[in-house]
């Protein structure tokens, strides 16, 4: 028991130190603390559990509520056989983030290793997002606590192009050009694209009590460091064996924040959730529904007088709307004319033929388009149709997850 008390003392001291550090911590020290966490995770992935525990403990003295560091520290302790400390850290994750995916993982482990644990069922989803800190929000089962380790708001340059809005990303510290895609549930990149960027393929995780990490790895999902602008987070990245499209920045990163895409000004403006600067009286608010299963933003679009749900998809630059096949288009009130032009649609799953033509009228909030170009693919209708960039061209827009609205401003 004395040994356990000695090993837990750094965690107890971290509560006191965090108060001191929150007042006097310099930005350089905060950056060093962030590095300790990332180094600790790397050491854990290399099965160096002792060094991982040491580094993560050091990080937690500055950020005692970092659920990702707590979770990996618990895994490292479990790997060392220190189950007492592992249980305490798992309990902290489950308490701090009961509805977050990490909270779900922690509960699942606790139900197997701690007979005294009576927590609820895991609510984690395999497609959920990870944050390196407690900057959580209600839209994804998280709270509105602001994170003092990052700016309240910040700008990131972007470059509009024919195939989307490009942004510079550092993936595990290596630069990669990626497209910001609100319709992509996760970050996505191909094996060959990793190699071109000089990024090592992530190693399979060691066996865990609940097997969740191994199952994710079998499906090609790995936690990786993603840095856009000045803000870095560790999120799940889907590594595809053969990515036919471009690498994508999906909801696992961008949904951690509020964000405004302004292609005309070539910028993306991010801000922390809960950091409210007031109402933009020039904006037209359009409600949306965020679906956790798949991380989808759904909007109600009126096409030729018929209103139905569509996925708001910034990665779709080929047409104002993409339907997945002719049957789906007809269910949505759109028929393919006989003189429709043949075309091709390229995505992460490859290139498929499509028919291209215009529809008479499409409306969403303040945007009312006539003769909008649409495409109907020859594929499976395993998802809703995609509303794409050509529809809202000329507008900047903010995804406001706190109010569940998209705020459009005419440029």
Q: Is the dihedral of CA 306, 310, 313, 319 positive or negative?
A: negative
- Which portions of the chain are predicted below pLDDT 70? 1-34, 115-145, 162-163, 205-211, 276-282, 347-350, 411
Which residues of the chain form CATH 1.25.40.10? 2-124
pLDDT for 129: 31
Which residues of the chain form CATH 2.40.70.10? 153-271, 284-410
Q: What is the pTM for the complete model shown?
A: 0.51
Residue 346, SS3?
strand
Beta carbons of 172 and 239 less than 8 angstroms apart: no
pLDDT for 128: 33
| Superfamily the domain 284-410 falls into | Acid Proteases (2.40.70.10)
Structure tokens at 230: 């000045």
Beta carbons of 257 and 273 less than 8 angstroms apart: yes
Structure tokens at 161: 């192009």
Q: What is the fold of 153-271?
A: Cathepsin D, subunit A; domain 1 (2.40.70)
pLDDT for 125: 31
Structure tokens at 240: 């595809």
pLDDT for 242: 85
pLDDT for 356: 94
The gap between the terminal CA atoms of the chain, to the nearest Å, is: 66
pLDDT for 277: 61
pLDDT for 10: 39
**Cβ-based neighbours of 26, under 8 Å, separated by 6 or more:** none
| Superfamily the domain 2-124 falls into | Tetratricopeptide repeat domain (1.25.40.10)
Beta carbons of 268 and 260 less than 8 angstroms apart: yes
Looking at residue 241, the DSSP 8-state letter turns out to be S
Structure tokens at 401: 């997850």
């Amino acid at each position: 028991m004395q040994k356990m008390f000695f090993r837990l003392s750094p965690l107890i001291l971290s509560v006191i130190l965090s108060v001191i550090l929150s007042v006097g911590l310099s930005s350089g020290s905060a950056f060093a603390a962030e590095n300790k966490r990332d180094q600790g995770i790397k050491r854990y992935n290399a099965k160096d559990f002792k060094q991982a525990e040491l580094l993560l403990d050091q990080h937690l003295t500055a950020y005692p509520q970092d659920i990702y560091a707590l979770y990996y520290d618990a895994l490292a302790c479990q790997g060392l056989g220190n189950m007492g400390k592992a249980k305490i850290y798992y309990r902290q994750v489950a308490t701090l983030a009961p509805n977050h995916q990490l909270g779900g993982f922690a509960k699942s482990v606790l139900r197997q290793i701690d007979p005294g644990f009576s927590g609820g069922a895991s609510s984690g989803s395999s497609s959920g997002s990870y944050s390196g800190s407690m900057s959580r929000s209600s839209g994804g089962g998280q709270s509105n606590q602001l994170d003092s380790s990052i700016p309240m708001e910040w700008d990131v340059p972007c470059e509009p192009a024919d195939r989307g809005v490009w942004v510079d990303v550092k993936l595990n510290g290596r630069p990669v050009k990626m497209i910001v895609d609100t319709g992509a549930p996760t970050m996505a990149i191909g094996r060959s694209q990793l190699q071109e960027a000089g990024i090592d393929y992530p190693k399979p995780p060691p066996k865990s009590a609940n097997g969740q990490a191994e199952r994710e790895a079998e499906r090609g999902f790995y936690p990786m460091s993603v840095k856009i602008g000045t803000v870095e987070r560790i999120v799940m990245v889907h590594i595809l064996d053969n990515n036919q499209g471009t690498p994508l920045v999906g909801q696992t990163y961008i949904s951690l924040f509020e964000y405004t895409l302004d292609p005309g000004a070539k910028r993306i403006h991010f801000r922390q959730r809960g950091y409210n600067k007031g109402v933009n009286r020039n904006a037209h608010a359009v409600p949306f529904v965020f679906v956790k299963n798949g991380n989808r933003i759904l909007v109600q679009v009126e096409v030729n007088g018929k209103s139905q749900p569509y996925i708001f998809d910034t990665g779709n630059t080929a047409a104002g709307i993409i339907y997945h096949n002719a049957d789906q288009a007809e269910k949505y009130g759109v028929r393919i004319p006989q003189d429709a032009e043949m075309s091709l649609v390229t995505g992460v799953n490859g290139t498929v033929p499509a028919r291209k033509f215009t529809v008479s009228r499409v409306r969403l909030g303040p945007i009312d388009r006539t003769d909008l170009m649409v495409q109907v693919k020859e594929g499976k209708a395993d998802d809703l149709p995609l509303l794409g960039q050509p529809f809202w061209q000329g507008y900047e827009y903010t995804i406001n997850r706190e109010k569940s609205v998209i705020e459009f401003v005419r440029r």
